[in-house]
Amino acid sequence: MAIFLSILKITGIVLLSILALVLVLVLLILLLPIHYQLWAEFDQAKGCFKAKAKVTYMAYLIHAEADAENSKLSWYLKIFGRKKLESGRDTDEEDDGDQEEPAVAGGAKADNILDEIEQAPEKKEETAISTVSSKESLEESPEPAEAGEKAEERAGDKEAQGQDQASGEEDGKRAGLAGRIRGFVDKIKGFIEKIRELRDKTVSRVKNIGYTIQELYDKIRLAFKKVRYYKDLLQLETSKEAIGFGWKQLKYLLWHLRPRRLEGYLKMGREDPADTGELLGLICTLRPVYGRHFLVEPDFEREVLEGNFYMKGFFQLYVAVIVLAKCYFNKNFMRFIRRMKRGQNLE
């Protein structure tokens, strides 16, 4: 019995230790601040823009950084001091191109060799034909006595060839006439087919126009239905209370995310001095937001926009968890969210 109790005691201690470690880890994740820094510099006249952002978490165990200069952006993410993610870099494409050049040259040589191999049989046939013709010319040197008989035979052969050619020409004319008639008939058939295709395309386009008009009408009708639904929903008192509650939680979250330090310099000016004055008045209304360490210099003589700023701050995840928990357990707010989603599924 004592052994059993000691086993239970050890098991309980182990489980409690694991639970305590998990609890400590969760508290560290929720309570340790996430620090962020942002620096930027810009000049409209020079077309220059530079920015740098840095985020650290858990005493640099998780570290991310990004640099931007005009249209170039580079970034990386380190976890426990090792880069896990990084913006893509170009590979050594020039070396690959240099290695491909010899292969191209070798391929050209191989093509030349294949051409020579293919042309070799033709050359052999030409030489063989030339030798045979030379032999025939030597053999065709007849004696004077036989020359007359061969001449008569050749004349008869020529007459026969002439008759054959005449009959062949007549057959060719007949075949050509039949081919022309056949081609004319094929053209007529093709023309009829084109007319049929044009008719089918016209009918399909007319049908598509009808479908398009119907779809447009359905979309307009659905849009008016959704507008009417959301208008009626926003006029309810419960919806107004839910919107007020959500806005309050959002302001609390943004207040926690605000930069603890903000300083910088801004020089701005418009072509019209009146526009510069109006812009300056709008910026001065935001002074409680950016504080007294941000200097604004107006220029009433020329159009200019240049400056720089630096900001840093931190936020803790437990604040976001609290805000999400409040929104989730607020029945009125969740009912409003469900009704908003229901409006998207209207048909």
Model confidence pLDDT, tens digit, residues 40-64: 999 888 888 999 999 999 888 899 9
User: What is the C-alpha separation between 101 and 117, in angstroms, rounded?
Assistant: 25
Does residue 191 lie within any of the structural domains? no
The answer on pLDDT for 197 being more than 50 is yes
Confidence (pLDDT) at 165: 66
Q: Last residue of a domain, which of 88, 109, 127?
A: 88
| Residues ≥6 apart with Cβ < 8 Å to 68 | 49, 50, 51, 52, 74
Q: Which of 63, 88, 113 is the last residue of a domain?
A: 88
Q: Are 317 and 30 in contact (CB under 8 A)?
A: yes
Tell me if 57 is assigned to some domain.
yes
Of 47, 71, 88, the one marking the end of a domain is 88
Asked if residue 182 belongs to a domain, the reply is: no
Distance CA 172, CA 178 (A): 10
**Could you give the percent of the chain with pLDDT greater than 90?**
32
In a domain, 318, yes or no: yes
Nearest to residue 39, comparing CAs of 259, 256, 254?
259
Question: What pLDDT was estimated at residue 22?
Answer: 94
**Top-ranked range on mean pLDDT: pick from 97-101, 174-178, 289-293:** 289-293
Residue 135 resides in a domain: no
Give the CA angle between residues 211, 217, 221 to the nearest 5°.
145
Tokens of 101: 């050049």
- Give the pLDDT of residue 164: 64
Tell me which amino acid residue 143 is.
Answer: E
Distance CA 245, CA 239 (A): 10
Residue 289 has a pLDDT of: 78
Identify whether 256 is part of a domain: yes
In the chain, the number of structural domains is: 2
Assess if residue 143 is contained within a domain.
no
The position carrying tokens 């292969």 is 103
Instruction: Give the integer Cα–Cα distance in Å for 322 and 315.
Output: 13
* Domain of residue 63, residue span: 35-88
Confidence at residue 95, expressed as pLDDT on a 0 to 100 scale = 42
Query: What is the biggest distance separating any 2 CA atoms in the chain, rounded to whole angstroms?
Result: 143
In angstroms, rounded to a whole number, what is the distance separating the alpha carbons of residues 116 and 106? 16
Q: Between these two residues, 313 and 203, which has the higher pLDDT value?
A: 313
Mean pLDDT computed over 163-186: 73
Q: Is 99 within the bounds of a domain?
A: no
pLDDT of residue 153: 65
Which has the minimum average pLDDT: 61-70, 117-126, 210-219? 117-126
Burial state string for 191-230 with b = 16 or more CB within 10 A and e = fewer than 16: eeeeeeeeeeeeeeeeeeeeeeeeeeeeeeeeeeeeeebb
Query: Mean of the pLDDT values across residues 63-70?
Result: 91
The gap from C-alpha 290 to its chain's centroid, in whole angstroms, comes to 38
